[in-house]
A and B are shown apart, each in its own frame.
Chain A
Amino acid sequence: MTAFAKNQWYVAAYGREIGRELLGRTFLDEPIAFYRAESDDQVIALADRCVHRRYPLTAGRLDGDTVVCGYHGFTYDTGGTCVFVPGQKRVPRTARVRSYPVVERDSLVWVWIGDPALADPGAVPRAPWLADPRWTTVGGMEPIDADYGLLVDNLLDLSHETYLHGGYIGTPEVAETPITTEVDEGAGVVRVSRHMDDAECPPFYARSTGIEGRITRWQDIEYHAPCLYLLHSRIAPVGVGPEPDGSDPNAFHVEITYAITPSTDRQVYDFWAVSRDFAQDDEEVSTFLHDLNRTVVLQDVAALNVLQKALDTEREGYQELSINIDTGGLAARRILARLAAEGEKTAPVVASP
């Protein structure tokens, strides 16, 4: 399996998903309960296990800013400290659950998995279009029953669009066009670019932009390991490029954002969003892009579920074959391995209660 990288920020949810009802999700094998505090609307993230008998807090209820365990009433404040136990006045000193650092930015809720002392909110990678009124965004999340590394492989090599997503976003030119790969080792960023000068326009872009005929299609991937994947997509009629001053008024721009958040060694949360700088108020375009991209995501879900099942039957040390299209994916795998090793080195020793 792909090792988990601790001491990293991960997308936990869209901000709109977290409110005054408890939301439970598991990240890197750690079950976490989320809610918004009544007093200041801040997102709170606590370990989703009562310190008493490990009952999930998400099976309990909120009372103001506190969470009340649904089994025996142990009550926790926003920092995870137990402030009430039933039948006695003294709350044991060790009665607390872990609280997780959280940042809400660009409409996403990020959670820090690792040593809280190392959490730097400034290190959260950005996807500003998600919360920019000049862009219109549709999105969702689908869990996949697979090692998160399979989703990283999938997204770093878009040649699969031609075969798995043909008739939706894939055309022959995607698989045929050579890529350029750049790795910024220090920043932990992989960039993969594929610029198609004269390509068929797939339905995803034909129906949303209204372009008839062939297109110039640029795909510029920026993967901020381990979680955030950005695909800067530029679509224009063939031969139409940016202006000499760098502006690009005659092209359509779509920012496709994915967050790849490992849940367990056999599940990954696939957050996806499609942001556009055209037809911003057109509900029909929004519905079309949402439904078509969700269909594409579900094609990936089905494929990776099948692939994981097949890999589970393989003997240890099975062979793979990598070719030119895998140049970006191979780079991402190596960066993930390095981040995982670094996270292990600094991982805190957590005493079992």
Chain B
Amino acid sequence: MSTPTAEVYRIDWLPGTDVLHGVCHCGAERTAEDPVELWQWMLAHPSGHHPAVPSEDQPTGHREEPRS
């Protein structure tokens, strides 16, 4: 059997919009309108998910990545 693990990634397509909202298993979140971009960010964990030095305008786990 495929035993459930804690490494779960989730993407919600927000009703009434074209926006996707991704939540990593580490708690980091991000929104995007392109599923390819969102998966790239999500699966790059931990890269870009937990900034080394949290700042006021960049809370832990919520750093925005440049769009490719």
What is the interface of chain A, defined by CB distance below 8 A to chain B?
122-126, 178-189, 224, 322-324, 326-327, 330-331, 334
Contact = CB atoms under 8 A, between A and B. Distances in A.
Interface of B: 1-15, 18, 20, 33-36, 38-39, 43
A230 to B, nearest CB: 11
Contact of B8 (A123, A179, A184, A326): A184
Contacts of A188: 2
Nearest to B12: A180
Nearest to B11: A181
Closest 4 CB pairs of A and B: A186-B5, A178-B13, A187-B2, A185-B7
A330 B35 contact: yes
A181 B21 CA distance: 10
Given A330-B35, A331-B39, A334-B39, A324 B5 contact: no
Given A181-B11, A327-B11, A123 B6 contact: no
Contacts of B34: 322
Nearest to B5: A186
A82 B22 CA distance: 56
Contacts, number: 70
Given A179-B13, A322-B36, A326-B35, A185 B5 contact: yes
A182 B10 contact: yes
A184 B6 CA distance: 7
B35 A327 contact: yes
A122 B14 CA distance: 38
Which of B2, B9, B12, B14 has the most CB atoms of chain A within a 10 A radius of its CB?
Answer: B2
B2 A178 contact: no
Given A323-B35, A334-B39, A126 B10 contact: no
A331 B39 CA distance: 8
Contacts of B14: 178
A182 B36 contact: no
A61 to B, nearest CB: 38
A188 B20 CA distance: 22
A330 B32 CA distance: 15
Nearest to B37: A322
22 contacts: A122-B1, A124-B1, A126-B1, A178-B13, A178-B14, A180-B11, A181-B10, A181-B11, A182-B9, A183-B8, A185-B5, A185-B7, A185-B8, A186-B5, A186-B7, A187-B2, A187-B4, A322-B36, A324-B35, A327-B20, A327-B35, A330-B35
